[in-house]
Copies of this chain bind each other. A is one copy, B any other.
Amino acid sequence: MSLRNAVMAALLDGESSGYDLAKVFDASVANFWICTPQQLYRELDRMEADGLISARTVEQERRPTKRLFALTPEGREELTRFTAARHKPTAIRDELLVAVLAADSGDVEAVKASIRERKQWAEAKVERYERLRAKLLDGLPEEEFLATAERVGPYLTLLRGLSFERDNARWCARSLTVLERRGARLDAAK
Contacts and interface: CB of A to CB of B under 8 A. Distances in A.
A61 interface: no
A156 interface: yes
A137 interface: no
Nearest to A104: B151
A99 to B, nearest CB: 5
Contacts of A29: 101
Contacts of A179: 152
B90 A95 contact: yes
Contacts of A37: none
A35 B94 CA distance: 13
Given A84-B107, A92-B161, A102-B83, A32 B97 contact: yes
Contacts of A125: 89
Given A92-B161, A164-B164, 19 more contacts: A2-B98, A9-B98, A9-B102, A32-B94, A33-B92, A79-B105, A82-B102, A83-B102, A83-B107, A85-B99, A87-B95, A87-B96, A89-B121, A93-B93, A100-B156, A146-B182, A147-B181, A147-B182, A147-B185
